């Protein structure tokens, strides 16, 4: 079977099918074996694993996954790639190609059907225009999974792993870290792709926590507080929470809740840890549902 990570092979396949890249689908195909191997190592894809690959493209990474894992489910949106995948992956009987939009699939049900509800691993060179909805969708829908190993924009990887005090710290950092432990696996320059993206990329592995690292009674309230705090990043918590259309606590309640966990009302959201957001959310409970 031809090694598609070899740029000449990729070009031959693209020419054979007269494939035109579609910008709207975030199509940047990997053509670097070393990067693909780093992704395999980070994901620890092994013979017991059922892998969900989002956006297989022409099947470059899918082939490598199929060599290592028990089963690969590859979900691709682009009609034009389906016949190509049927060709490049024909030697593998452990690959299932699903032609669909990943954001429209019921992934919990898919894991039930394809892996008897046991945790899967997600591995992908993601379409960058929908990185956040894909990752948050997997976590929030409580899809049984061990880890998510993905190529994302470098800037997004930095946001996922940042903590308080960093300019990159924000709602995405807190959401990702509530559900998982992020680990940077590689930085990847634009010349590893065809066509070249105009941003740097990185591979990040999100190891799903068995239990969230903080005890929060109302997750939805905590995430509303987080969103409100970073929507107006330069404002104090008192003002951000008071101005948020998603919350209806008054200034006295906000001050009291902050003080009850030892914080001043002029503190900014970017200074709070995940533990503090959880404690704050629990402190607001005494004012009733919001």
By CB under 6 A, name the binding residues for ligand SAM: 25-30, 54-57, 60-61, 75-78, 81, 101-103, 125, 127, 130
Nearer to ligand SAM, 188 or 257 (CB): 188
- In the bound state with ligand SAM, the residue whose beta carbon lies nearer, of 55 and 269, is 55
Query: At closest approach, how far in Å is the CB of 181 from ligand SAM?
Result: 24
Q: Which residues pair with 147 in a beta bridge?
A: 121, 207
Per the listing, tokens 């005494």 go with 286
Task: Tell me the closest approach of the beta carbon of residue 160 to ligand SAM, in angstroms.
Answer: 18
Considering the complex, what minimum distance in angstroms separates the CB of residue 226 from ligand SAM? Answer: 26
Residues 6+ apart with CB under 8 A from 261: 276, 279, 280, 283
Nearer to ligand SAM, 14 or 238 (CB): 14
Cβ distance to ligand SAM smaller for residue 55 or 182: 55
SS (H, E, C) the chain: CCCCCCHHHHHHHHHHCCCCCCHHHCCCEECCHHHHHHHHHHHCCCCCCEEEEECCCCCHHHHHHHHHCCEEEEEECCHHHHHHHHHHCCCCCCEEEEECCHHHCCHHHHHHHHHCCCCEEEEEECCHHHHHHHHHHHHHCCCCEEEEEEEEEHHHHHHHHCCCCCCCCCHHHHHHHHHEEEEEEEEECHHHEECCCCCCEEEEEEEECCCCCCCCCCHHHHHHHHHHHHHCCCCEHHHHHHHCCCCCCCHHHHHHHHHHCCCCCCCEHHHCCHHHHHHHHHHHHHHCCC
Q: Would you say 78 or 146 has its CB closer to ligand SAM?
A: 78
Nearer to ligand SAM, 32 or 49 (CB): 32
CB nearer ligand SAM, residue 143 or residue 237: 143
- Measured from the CB atom, the residue of 128 and 287 that comes closer to ligand SAM is 128
Q: Closest residue (Cβ) to ligand SAM?
A: 55
Would you give the distance in Å from CA 212 to the centre of its chain?
17
What is the closest distance, in whole angstroms, from the C-beta atom of residue 127 to ligand SAM in the complex?
Answer: 3
CB of 273 to ligand SAM, least distance (A): 33
CB of 163 to ligand SAM, least distance (A): 28
To ligand SAM, the closest distance from the beta carbon of 104 in angstroms equals: 8
Closest contact distance (angstroms) between CB of 176 and ligand SAM is: 20
CB 76 within 8 A of CB 85: yes
């Amino acid at each position: 079977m031809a090694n598609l990570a070899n740029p000449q092979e990729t070009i031959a396949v693209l020419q054979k099918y007269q494939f035109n890249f579609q910008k709207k689908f975030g199509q940047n195909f990997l053509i670097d074996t070393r990067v693909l191997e780093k992704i395999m190592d980070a994901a620890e894809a092994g013979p017991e694993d059922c892998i969900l690959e989002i956006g297989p493209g022409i099947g470059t990474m899918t082939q490598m996954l199929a060599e290592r894992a028990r089963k690969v489910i590859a979900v691709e949106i682009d009609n034009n790639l389906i016949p190509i995948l049927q060709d490049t992956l024909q030697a593998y009987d452990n690959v299932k190609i699903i032609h669909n939009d990943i954001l429209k699939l019921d992934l919990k049900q898919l894991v039930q059907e394809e892996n008897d509800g046991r945790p899967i691993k997600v591995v992908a060179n993601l379409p960058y225009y929908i990185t956040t909805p894909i990752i948050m969708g997997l976590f929030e829908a409580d899809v049984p999974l061990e880890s998510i190993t993905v190529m994302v924009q470098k800037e997004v990887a930095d946001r996922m792993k940042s903590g308080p005090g960093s300019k990159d710290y924000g709602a995405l950092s807190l959401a990702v870290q509530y559900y998982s432990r992020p680990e940077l696996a590689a930085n990847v320059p634009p010349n590893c792709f065809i066509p070249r993206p105009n941003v740097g990329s990185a591979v990040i592995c999100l190891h799903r926590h068995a239990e969230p690292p903080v005890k929060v009674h109302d997750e939805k309230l905590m995430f509303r507080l987080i969103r409100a705090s970073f929507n107006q990043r330069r404002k104090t918590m008192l003002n951000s929470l008071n101005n948020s259309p998603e919350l209806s606590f008054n200034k006295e309640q906000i001050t009291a809740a902050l003080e009850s966990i030892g914080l001043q009302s002029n503190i900014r959201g970017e200074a709070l840890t995940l533990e503090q957001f959880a404690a704050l959310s629990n402190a607001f409970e005494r004012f009733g549902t919001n």
